[in-house]
């Protein structure tokens, strides 16, 4: 397929057919009325040639709808602006080299999953020597000193560490995002560091499968990583940012 | 995983099928059809269409038919014309198409001379085509094999260029065979459209030009994904023989080929399509091409549990018809399908037993297993559940070729993502369950084994009945999916004729074939 | 669930969360750009809190996206207007009674799948005695005389019948809708009958899984039936319409 | 479908587990905890909270603890207060909660009198509760049974009213058991929140009031769908014993109950939670309630293929711990899970073998099978494929309780449609594949059988090691999922105490229980 550059539209079976699939439930029992309701919702979302191809009774006054339709929406390929930029990745050796000879110091990285969130696998994937997706984790880098606080760490405790140790980078993981639990935690930590006056002394980075980078930056983080992040991506960013700071 | 069934009964079924096929043979061997003759002209190199865009091969046949000269066959008149004019088949074809040459009015040449000439032309044709075919087999053998079953997907955009883009994507994501669905009811056309086509209903027209484009794309894809990707198309229909010829000329690997489909679901005349089928299978056999049959269609409209034996009946008959046409079992891909009602208790067990039974009855056949379709609804998630279980049965019972079901079966011909999701499921199941066939056994005295024995018994019964009635009468009495077709009814009977005294077709000549194989001088 | 009457919104996990699932492919190879493109298409469809939760490479420059988001769209339960009305169904006996004693005639129903469409199961489900979903088909009704022409019937042939027989109702099935093949067929037939001047003498009804009733009426049909239609629904409509005509 | 394994080895594993459990018992039997004591107060009828919304039972225990009087236990002080004041447990609880009554300053009554009183109260309590429980069992038995396995789904809106609406929908569509996921980390709270709650993270708080609402809804649903729908909740955590008590009081059918989960994944102190677990299981055993354990968690963070034996190790130990607490095997629902990497060759075969092995090792246990979770991505279609195969393994190997996987596992706690689609898949598989267990056999000398033998051997090894080291040390040395916990580390150790000379707990008294069962006069 040769990619269209200017106007990009969904593709179902041929270029620019604009085909999309949509599904949602309604708090209505299944009926001719509920079917119409489903169709008009699809209509209000701007779909044309709407086909309600499945309408299912979910029990207790709920129903579920699967629809296909087409959208006229087309977006300009050139005009796409990237939020999470694909940074050029450095390699293991380059990173250690830069740290040792340019930054001239061993970098202390502290990681924690804060709040009541008990998910450690994501953070461990970045920190543990074992690493993730075939890449070794930060512990394997001679030039990183890694302190992994694990899960369910109260923000206060993280603050403690920054007082006791020469922390250069904080890596905060948040996996549970129900009811925005993660935002409360992240905001709180960022504010505490501000209050403490140590915010500028360190890199504040968060990550997690459901983190919206824009929002993370807004609440005061330097960077945010989403699903599928690799240790190298994190290490690369750390080095660049630290070097930038020294300039 | 073997089911305990009586080899005695199986042998008997084969005998019955053989006698049924015999009778058909006897009846059709003195006959030929317009599409068989057109296929001969295509093979010896006549291509293209005239101003009115009528294919030259049609002009040629209509021309001699109009003058009551059809009975001597295409090659007789072509040979005569070549000797009389010294021109090439193509230029003769073009002049006939333009109406500037009357074949029948040309001075008649002696039959032996014509025969000698034609045998030579045919031998050379065969030699070149067999050479090409060998290269293709080499290409296939030199590429790494994928574990069975072959994953077979369809594209059906109606536009050959879109078909190609989607076929390439499918190949890249694991498809082993790609079929271009034909434009709805092309099987009813008594000619093969010409050239590249970008408009079609529910599919893309089967044309030589479209075949060539897709072949190129798939060969490229094969190299890129380091895996041989097979090209499939449909030849059942009024142009069965002709499309088989195109398949050979353009290097297709698999052709869907079944006269019964045409008779029952397209109301084609049974004699016409049986004659076409015989020659098409002879041709495909000659070039060691795989055919797959359409038994799946038989249980799409009747009770698939009660009436399942009709699938086995048709397979036994198709096997014999194909063997009589000179095909070897390794190329006869008999079809079957998983169309049981999901509401049925133990449906998974029954599908497993049926699939295993087919595998066991036809151990050498590259059987083609078709996915659930009729009980799929617009619920794409539940459709995906059904297809996943189907994939498991396919892998477990070691089917050879599996047409992948689509989550959107009940909605539209596959979108690009539907095909991907199906491949994703099938690839996972192939990786996860490849050992089941070796690791598990049926309880010899379980319900499954009982079902298998019962199916075989019923199959034997109906084959016996059909052997008594004869195939023609059985087709009239509704033995197949309760559909009734009369011997002389249906489309295309007017295209059938009894071979005349001068008729000749050297393609059927063992000697010519032998010499072509040996690459001897014509 | 007690159904909300006035404002109805999609329901994912709680009332009015407006949660919808969306998916489509793009003619772009998978990249940060293509992901952004997918998100902005969802945005242009008016979704908020967009989560791109799966982005898959389909090969050859195609990619597929699964997203969740919320919509503010809400529709007024009262204001829903029904296209295919849920007609009150009559029963077998009532129908035959009305035909025999009120309409006072045996009704001739001719059914056909027209064009090159070879699908007969749908039409048979309505006509064959066997019927569909436990209901017996029109052939079982003493007061209906059914002529089933089967599939692949050229419109001309249908016209022929109307000349030869006293046809009261035409039941036309269309299943293959690719490239709107069905519309061409339906329109052609309706126009032929008009030209013939016999259009008013009969009920012209079509059906099929992908028939859009509105469109069917526009091209000149009296009624259209969709997926899951039962013989009783068809029989009931026939009786009502024929009786209405006589008044 | 039986796997050929050495009954000798199995017996040995049980012996090892028994000795491991023995040692734990010996250590914990002289101990009690604040949550055990609070559970006693709840059982004898103290409920509600004070102005500051602190549960009365917490006020009571903190009150005596503050005065170093905890060692004599809650019932001693309650009995003393009743005799001294003549008031009811509830009003005493309320006055303590209001700070208007000092239990320790009340005139001390003679121990025998207190004991007699308490035995009477407990006997009456038991009698009423056992009566209620019997009625519930009757209700269950009078409703038609569904074929195994029970389909278990979760609701997790955080709002009990929304939970109820979705639970009813699930019940109507085929769920046999519904669990309300707890608000994240409720297991870390050393009290049980009060009243009806409509706010929670990733789940809804476990409270008596919420239990009551859901119970009512599910009983209604049971009647409507003419099928008994079981209520499930989680009691592992710092309030293990207390929540078990609430489960008994409110008529829950199944409680997720596993100290190991708390120790490893919630960093609870091992001694504290083992003491709590012992009493909670004793209580649930008394009321013939099903517990399910959390072995699924053990393979969520380690190599699930290599390290699978840890699941069996934990099951053997959990079985013994539960039996020592007086439970019968038919109520000990041991947990396991299908968490193999889909990229692994033959993963389906391995899951099948593992599931069958568990079934065979614990034939009487209502084993609880957990679905794939860790390798699910946002691709809801592929997730549905994985769950369909999981459902097939569940049905085929005749698991007792199956927690249904969700297509959106990697995205959010289930939406109302996710739960429906999962039930739809599971119901279909249950209907379609119910006979597989009977119809198929493993090759006795296949890879599957070999894998089973190897798993059992490794399990025997680790059990031997743990039996030598002792459970506490093994937990410190990372024998379980490579997580290290120290004997006195973790949350809640301060809530553990050694029973004093006046301590009493008639619930443990065989005689009291016997009389309550017999319905004799107190
Ligand atoms: C494993 C698991 C658990 C384990 C956790 C064990 C452990 N030690 O981590 C256990 C069983 C304990 C568990 C418990 C619960 N879980 Co859980 N769990 C999962 C599961 C199945 C896999 C998560 C995982 O390990 N992913 C693999 C890692 C490698 O991916 P990742 O986390 O995305 O991390 C990558 C990136 O995000 C990024 N990254 C992540 N963190 C960071 C940090 C930094 C600094 C950087 C740079 C990058 C980065 O890099 C990583 C590598 O690429 C998911 C479902 C799923 N399939 O995703 C549910 C899931 C995450 N759990 C969930 C929930 C709700 C819970 C519970 C709260 C449920 C309950 N109420 O009981 C409990 C309680 C635990 C708690 N309080 O947090 C929900 C979260 C829903 C939501 N959106 O909020 C999920 C999605 C399941 C579901 N559908 O309900 N869970
Ligand atoms: C069975 C089947 C076939 C059989 C048909 C046999 C036969 N005698 O009918 C065979 C194998 C021959 C076949 C062939 C083809 N098929 Co087909 N087939 C199907 C299948 C699997 C089931 C259809 C069916 O029987 N449904 C059951 C009936 C009861 O439902 P129904 O048709 O919707 O009818 C109900 C209502 O619609 C309504 N109704 C229908 N008609 C009428 C008429 C009136 C008057 C009234 C009142 C009501 C009414 O009442 C019925 C009862 O409720 C569907 C996929 C699917 N699962 O739906 C594909 C499908 C319909 N086929 C399709 C295609 C493209 C073809 C082919 C053209 C493919 C090809 N190019 O080779 C071929 C060629 C046939 C042709 N030229 O039409 C597509 C159509 C796509 C589209 N939207 O256009 C589908 C959707 C499959 C797919 N995803 O590609 N097919
Ligand atoms: C055996 C067989 N041949 C041919 C075809 C294609 O036929 P048509 O061109 O009539 O759509 C099919 C489609 O189902 C088939 O099953
Ligand atoms: C055994 C067990 N207990 C309890 C829970 C719930 O625990 P929490 O309240 O910590 O989320 C879980 C959840 O996974 C579990 O597996």
Task: Give me the pLDDT at residue B118, please.
Answer: 98
Q: Give the distance (Å) from ligand 4 centre to CA of residue D62.
A: 26
User: Residue A204: pLDDT band by 50, 70, 90 thresholds?
Assistant: very high
For C115-145, what is each residue's pLDDT tens digit? 989 999 999 999 998 888 788 999 999 999 9
Average pLDDT over residues B226-236: 97
How do residues D222-237 score in pLDDT, each as one tens digit?
A: 999 999 999 999 999 9
Phi, psi (deg, nearest 5) at residue B152: -110, 120
- A191 alpha carbon, distance to own chain's centre: 21
What pLDDT shows up at residue D184?
84
Q: Is the pLDDT of residue A83 over 80?
A: no
Is D181 in the B-facing interface, judged by CB distances under 8 Å?
no
The token duo for D503 is: 């301590």
Q: Please list the alpha-helical segments (H only) found in B325-376.
A: 347-361
Q: Is B326 exposed, middle or buried (0-12, 13-18, 19+ CB in 10 A)?
A: middle
Q: Is C155:C184 a contact under the CB 8 Å cutoff?
A: no
Using CB atoms, list chains with 3+ pairs below 8 Å to chain D.
Answer: A, B, C
Check whether D456 has a pLDDT greater than 90. yes
Give strand pairing partners of A225.
A207
Could you tell which of B236, B290, B296 is best to mutate to test the pocket of ligand 3, judged by most ligand atoms within 8 Å of the CB? Answer: B236
Residue D428: the pLDDT is 98
Tokens 């979108």 -> residue: B415
Which regions of chain C are under pLDDT 50? none
Angstrom distance (rounded) from CA B283 to CA B243 = 11
Mean pLDDT for the stretch of residues A212-232:
92
CA–CA min distance B420, chain C (Å)? 6
Distance (angstroms) between ligand 1 centre and the Cα of A210 equals: 10
Q: How large is the C-alpha radius of gyration of chain A?
A: 23
The answer to whether D412 contacts chain C (CB < 8 Å) is yes
> How confident is the model at residue B173, as a pLDDT?
98
Distance CA(B341)–CA(D289), nearest Å, equals 39
Report how far ligand 4's centroid is from the alpha carbon of D430 (Å): 27
Q: Which ligand is nearest to the CA of A172?
A: 1
Q: Distance between CA atoms of B323 and A153, rounded to whole angstroms?
A: 75
For chain D, the average pLDDT equals: 97
Kindly report, residue by residue over D356-383, the tens digit of the pLDDT.
999 999 999 999 999 999 999 999 999 9
- Which residue in the set C11, C12, C14 is minimally distant from D159, CB to CB? C14
Interface test with A, best of C31, C37, C62, C71 (most A CBs within 10 A): C37
Cα B284 to Cα B490: distance, rounded to the nearest angstrom: 26
Is the pLDDT assigned to residue A84 strictly greater than 60? Answer: no
* D86 pLDDT higher than 90: yes
DSSP state of D49: B
Q: How many CB pairs under 8 A join B and D?
A: 131
Q: How many CA atoms lie within 13 A of D443 on its CB side?
A: 15
* Arithmetic mean of pLDDT over chain B: 97
CA distance A185 to chain B (A): 37
CB burial class (10 A; 0-12, 13-18, 19+) of residue B89? buried
Q: Which pLDDT value is given to residue C130?
A: 86
Mutate to test the pocket of ligand 3, among B179, B187, B321, B369 (most ligand atoms within 8 A of CB): B187
H/E element, C159: helix C155-164
pLDDT digits 0-9 by tens, C187-201: 999 999 999 999 999
Q: Give the containing element (helix H, strand E) for A19.
A: strand A19-26
Indicate if ligand 1 lies below 6 Å from the C-beta of A231.
no
Q: Which residue puts its alpha carbon closest to atom 6 of ligand 4?
A: D234
Mean pLDDT of B200-211: 94
pLDDT for the residue C1: 79
Percent of chain C with pLDDT over 70: 98
Q: Rounded mean pLDDT of D445-472?
A: 98
Catalytic (active site) residue A105? no
Index of the ligand 4 atom closest to the CA of residue D258: 1
A46 → closest Cβ in C1, C45, C77? C45
D341 has catalytic annotation: no
A6 interfacial to chain C (CB closer than 8 Å): no
Query: Residue with the nearest Cα to atom 6 of ligand 2?
Result: C119
Non-local CB neighbours of D159 within 8 Å, separated by 6+ positions: C14, D197, D198, D199, D200, D204
Angle between helix B447-469 and helix B309-324 axes, rounded to 10 deg: 50
Query: Quick one: pLDDT band at residue A80, thresholds 50, 70, 90?
Result: confident
pLDDT at C5: 76
Nearest ligand 2 atom to the CA of C211 is 37
Q: How confident is the model at residue C86, as a pLDDT?
A: 62
Residue D200: which H helix or E strand, with range?
none
How far is Cα C177 from Cα C174, in angstroms, rounded to an integer? 7
Query: Is C225 a pocket residue for ligand 2 (Cβ < 6 Å)?
Result: yes
CA C91 from centre of chain? 22
- Cis bond upstream, residue D267 (ω within 30): no
> What does the pLDDT average to over A131-144?
90
Whether D337 has a pLDDT exceeding 90, the answer reads: yes
For chain B, percent of residues with pLDDT exceeding 90: 97
C-alpha A168/C-alpha A235 separation (Å) is: 13
> DSSP per residue over B122-151, as a string?
HHHHHHHHHHHHHHHHHHHHHSPPPPSSEE
> What mean pLDDT is predicted for residues B485-507?
97
Q: Are strands B31-33 and B496-498 parallel, antiparallel or unpaired?
A: antiparallel
Q: Please report which confidence band the pLDDT of residue D407 belongs to, taking 50, 70 and 90 as the band edges.
A: very high
**pLDDT number for residue A132:** 87
**Residue C132, ligand 2, Cβ within 6 A:** yes
Catalytic pick among D211, D261, D375, D420: D261
**Residue B280 to residue B254: CA distance in whole angstroms:** 13
At residue D285, the 3 state secondary structure works out as helix
List, for residues A93-113, the tens digit of each pLDDT value.
999 999 999 999 999 999 999
């Amino acid at each position: 397929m040769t990619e269209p550059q200017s106007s990009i539209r969904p593709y179902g079976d041929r270029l620019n057919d604009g085909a999309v699939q949509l599904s949602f439930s309604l708090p209505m029992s299944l009926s001719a009325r509920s079917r119409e309701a489903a169709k008009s919702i699809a209509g209000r979302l701007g779909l044309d040639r709407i086909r309600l191809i499945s309408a299912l009774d979910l029990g207790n006054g709920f129903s579920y709808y699967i629809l296909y339709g087409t959208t006229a929406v087309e977006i300009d390929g050139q005009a796409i602006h990237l939020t999470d930029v694909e940074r050029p990745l450095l390699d293991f050796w380059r990173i250690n080299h830069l740290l040792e000879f340019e930054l001239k110091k061993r970098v202390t990285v502290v990681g924690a999953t804060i709040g009541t969130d008990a998910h450690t696998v994501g953070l461990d994937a970045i920190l543990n020597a074992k690493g993730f997706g075939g890449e070794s984790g930060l512990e394997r880098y001679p030039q990183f000193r890694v302190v992994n606080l694990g899960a369910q760490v109260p923000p206060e405790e993280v603050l403690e560490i920054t007082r006791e140790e020469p922390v250069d980078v904080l890596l905060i993981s948040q996996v549970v995002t129900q009811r925005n639990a993660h935002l409360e935690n992240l905001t709180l930590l960022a504010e505490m560091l501000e209050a403490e006056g140590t915010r500028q002394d360190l890199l504040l980075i968060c990550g997690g499968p459901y983190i919206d980078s824009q929002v993370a930056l807004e609440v005061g983080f330097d960077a945010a990583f989403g699903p599928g992040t690799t240790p190298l991506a994190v290490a690369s960013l750390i080095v660049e940012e630290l070097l930038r700071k020294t300039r | 995983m073997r089911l305990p069934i009586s080899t005695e009964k199986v042998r008997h079924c084969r005998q019955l099928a053989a006698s049924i096929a015999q009778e058909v043979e006897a009846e059709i061997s003195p006959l030929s059809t317009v599409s068989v003759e057109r296929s001969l002209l295509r093979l010896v190199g006549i291509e293209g269409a005239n101003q009115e865009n009528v294919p030259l091969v049609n002009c040629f046949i209509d021309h001699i038919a109009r003058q009551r000269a059809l009975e001597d066959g295409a090659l007789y008149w072509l040979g005569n014309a070549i000797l009389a004019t010294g021109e090439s088949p193509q230029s003769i074809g073009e002049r006939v198409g333009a109406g500037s040459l009357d074949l029948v009015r040309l001075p008649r040449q002696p039959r032996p001379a014509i025969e000698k000439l034609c045998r030579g032309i045919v031998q050379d044709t065969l030699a070149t085509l067999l050479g090409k075919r060998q290269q293709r087999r080499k290409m296939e053998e030199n590429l790494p094999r994928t574990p069975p079953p072959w994953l077979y997907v369809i594209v059906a955009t109606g536009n050959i260029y879109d078909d190609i883009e989607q076929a390439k994507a499918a190949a890249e994501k694991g498809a082993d065979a790609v079929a271009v669905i034909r434009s709805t009811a092309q099987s009813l056309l008594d000619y093969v459209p010409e050239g590249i086509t970008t408009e079609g209903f529910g599919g893309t027209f089967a044309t030589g030009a479209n075949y060539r484009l897709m072949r190129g794309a798939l060969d490229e894809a094969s190299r890129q994904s380091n895996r041989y990707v097979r090209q499939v198309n449909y030849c059942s229909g009024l142009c069965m023989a002709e499309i088989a010829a195109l398949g050979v000329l353009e290097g297709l690997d698999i052709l869907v080929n079944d006269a019964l489909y045409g008779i029952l679901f397209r109301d084609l005349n049974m004699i016409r399509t049986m004659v076409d089928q015989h020659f098409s299978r002879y041709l495909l056999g000659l070039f060691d091409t795989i055919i797959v049959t359409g038994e799946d269609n038989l249980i799409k409209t009747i009770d698939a549990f009660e009436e399942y034996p009709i699938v086995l009946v048709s397979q036994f008959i198709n096997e014999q018809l194909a063997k009589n046409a000179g095909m070897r079992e390794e190329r006869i891909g008999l079809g079957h399908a998983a169309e049981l009602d999901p509401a049925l208790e133990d449906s998974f067990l029954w599908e497993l037993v049926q699939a295993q039974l087919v595998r066991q009855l036809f151990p050498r056949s590259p059987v083609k297993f078709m996915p659930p379709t009729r009980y799929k609804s617009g619920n794409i998630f539940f459709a995906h559940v059904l297809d996943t279980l189907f994939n498991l049965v396919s892998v477990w019972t070691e089917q050879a070729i599996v047409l992948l079901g689509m989550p959107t079966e009940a909605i539209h011909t596959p979108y690009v993502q539907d095909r991907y999701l199906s491949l994703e499921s099938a690839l996972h199941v192939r990786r996860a369950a490849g050992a089941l066939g070796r690791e598990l056994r049926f309880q010899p005295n379980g319900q499954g084994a009982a079902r298998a024995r019962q199916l075989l018994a019923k199959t034997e019964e109906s084959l016996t009945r059909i052997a008594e009635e004869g195939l023609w009468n059985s087709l009239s009495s509704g033995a197949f999916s309760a559909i009734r077709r009369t011997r002389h009814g249906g489309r295309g009977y007017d295209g059938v004729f009894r071979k005349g005294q001068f008729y000749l077709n050297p393609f059927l000549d063992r000697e010519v074939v032998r010499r072509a194989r040996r690459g001897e001088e014509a």
